[in-house]
C-alpha cells in the first residue's frame, strides 16, 4: 500500500471522495479501475471510476463530478490540448492530476503514467527484434484519432523505420512507408472503430493482399488476438510474427506458445492505484508527493518469453482474474 490510512475513525466517515476518469471503455481501464478501487479500500476513501464514451461524454461526466463536489480527479484526457477549459475548471474547483495521457498545458498538478510515444517506440523495437531481416509490417488499431493511440502508433512507426524519434510527426494512415535501408516497410494502419468483426476482417484482408507480410502489430488490447485468429485461419500462425500491446490473456498465452514475439505493457493497475494514493495525499495537503518534474513515471515494460510467466502471475494476483 501507499501513503497512510486516514487517521482513526471509520474511514468512510471523513474519507475524501475521489474520481478516476478513463478515456473510454476497455479492459485496460477496468484493470486500472480495480487498482483505483483497491487503493480506495486501503485508504478508506470513496472512489468513483468513470469510463466515458468519447470526448463529449468525458466533458459532461467531468462537469457532473465537479457538481458532486468531488475532492480530486485523475483523468486521462482524450484530447488534451482541446480540453484545457474543462481541465482547468476541474483544477480550480478540485484537485486534478492526469494519468495515461498528459495535459502539460493545463493546470493539472502532476502526471502519472508513461509516454505513449515512447511505448510505441518500444513496440517498434520489438518488431525490429522479431524481424532481423526486416519485412512488411501491418499496424492494426482501434481508432487513430485520439491522443494515446496516435502517439503510440507514431512511435511504433518511427522505431520500425529507424527514424530519429520525434513525437510531433503524424504519418497518414494509408500509404506504405519504407525505411532508409529499405529493410522495413510499414504497409499501413487499419482501423476498426472497436468493431471486432471488422478488426478480424482487416487482419484477414491484409493477409490476402500482402502474401509476404512479415508481422502484425496490434496496438489496442484486442488487436493482437484478432490478428492471431486471422493467422490461425490462414494457417500462418507462428509464421507471421505478432507484436502485441497491452496484456490481453490471449496475447500473453501467445508469448508463452511462441506465436507472439512480445508485448509492451503499461501498468494500468498502477495507474489506478497510484492516482488515488497521490490524490489522497494531495487532498490531505501533503504536497511532498509531487516530484519537481511533476511526473511519476510508471514506465511501459516489454514482456517476452523471458518474463511473461511471472508478469502474468502478478497480474492475476492483482486483478483476481
Q: Which residues bind another protein (CB under 8 A)?
A: 25-27, 29-30, 48, 50-51, 53-56, 59-61, 63-65, 67-69, 78-79, 81-85, 105, 143-146, 150, 170, 172-175, 187-188, 190-191, 193-198, 200-202, 204-209, 211, 222, 225-226, 229, 233-234, 249-250, 253
Specify whether the CB–CB gap between 277 and 230 falls below 8 A: no
Q: Which of 308, 229, 262 is nearest to 128 (CA)?
A: 262
Nearer to another protein, 225 or 262 (CB): 225
Nearer to another protein, 3 or 225 (CB): 225
Q: Is 248 left (phi over 0), alpha (psi -120 to 50) or beta?
A: beta
Shortest distance in whole angstroms from residue 82 CB to another protein: 3
Q: How far apart are CA 276 and CA 38, in angstroms?
A: 9
Q: What angle do CA 157, 200, 113 make, to 5 degrees?
A: 45
Shortest distance in whole angstroms from residue 207 CB to another protein: 8
- DSSP sequence for 26-47: SHHHHHHHHHHHHHHHHHT-EE
CB contact set of 305 (below 8 Å; sequence gap of 6+): 255, 256, 258, 262
Shortest distance in whole angstroms from residue 194 CB to another protein: 4
Nearer to another protein, 94 or 150 (CB): 150
Q: How far apart are CA 321 and CA 310, in angstroms?
A: 15
Nearer to another protein, 116 or 122 (CB): 116
Nearer to another protein, 202 or 261 (CB): 202
Shortest distance in whole angstroms from residue 128 CB to another protein: 23
135-141 vs 17-21, strand pairing mode: unpaired
Shortest distance in whole angstroms from residue 264 CB to another protein: 20
Shortest distance in whole angstroms from residue 291 CB to another protein: 27
Q: What angle do CA 295, 300, 302 make, to 5 degrees?
A: 160
Nearer to another protein, 16 or 226 (CB): 226
Specify whether the CB–CB gap between 136 and 170 falls below 8 A: no
Nearer to another protein, 250 or 290 (CB): 250
Paired strand residues for 191: 141
- The stretches of 131-267 forming alpha helices (DSSP H) are 147-160, 196-209, 223-234, 249-257
Shortest distance in whole angstroms from residue 71 CB to another protein: 14
CB contact set of 125 (below 8 Å; sequence gap of 6+): 159, 302
Amino acid at each position: 500500500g501507499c501513503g497512510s490510512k486516514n487517521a482513526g475513525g471509520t474511514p468512510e466517515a471523513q474519507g475524501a471522495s475521489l474520481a478516476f476518469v478513463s478515456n473510454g471503455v476497455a479492459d485496460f481501464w477496468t484493470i486500472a479501475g480495480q487498482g483505483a478501487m483497491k487503493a480506495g479500500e486501503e485508504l478508506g476513501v470513496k472512489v468513483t471510476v468513470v469510463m466515458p464514451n468519447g470526448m463529449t461524454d468525458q466533458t459532461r461526466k467531468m462537469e457532473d463530478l465537479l457538481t458532486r463536489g468531488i475532492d480530486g480527479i485523475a483523468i486521462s484526457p482524450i484530447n488534451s490540448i482541446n480540453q484545457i477549459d474543462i481541465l482547468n475548471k476541474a483544477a480550480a474547483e478540485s484537485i486534478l492530476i492526469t494519468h495515461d495521457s498528459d495535459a502539460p498545458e493545463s493546470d493539472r498538478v502532476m502526471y502519472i503514467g508513461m509516454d505513449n510515444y515512447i511505448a510505441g517506440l518500444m513496440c517498434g523495437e520489438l518488431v525490429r527484434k522479431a524481424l532481423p531481416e526486416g519485412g512488411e509490417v501491418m499496424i492494426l488499431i482501434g481508432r487513430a484519432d485520439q491522443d494515446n493511440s496516435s502517439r503510440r502508433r507514431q512511435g511504433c512507426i518511427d522505431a520500425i523505420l529507424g527514424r530519429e524519434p520525434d513525437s510531433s510527426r503524424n504519418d497518414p494512415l494509408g500509404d506504405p512507408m519504407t525505411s532508409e535501408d529499405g529493410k522495413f516497410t510499414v504497409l499501413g494502419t487499419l482501423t476498426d472503430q472497436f468493431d471486432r468483426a471488422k478488426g478480424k476482417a482487416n487482419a484477414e484482408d491484409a493477409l490476402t493482399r500482402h502474401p509476404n507480410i512479415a508481422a502484425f502489430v496490434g496496438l489496442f488490447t484486442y488487436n493482437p488476438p484478432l490478428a492471431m485468429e486471422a493467422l490461425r485461419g490462414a494457417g500462418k500462425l507462428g509464421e507471421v510474427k505478432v507484436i502485441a500491446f497491452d496484456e490481453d490473456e490471449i496475447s500473453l498465452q501467445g508469448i508463452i506458445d511462441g506465436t507472439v514475439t512480445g508485448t509492451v505493457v503499461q501498468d494500468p493497475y498502477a495507474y489506478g492505484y497510484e492516482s488515488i494514493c497521490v490524490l489522497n495525499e494531495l487532498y490531505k495537503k501533503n504536497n511532498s508527493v509531487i516530484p519537481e518534474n511533476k511526473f511519476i513515471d510508471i514506465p511501459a515494460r516489454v514482456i517476452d518469453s523471458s518474463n511473461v510467466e511471472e508478469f502474468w502471475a502478478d497480474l492475476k494476483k492483482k486483478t483476481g482474474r
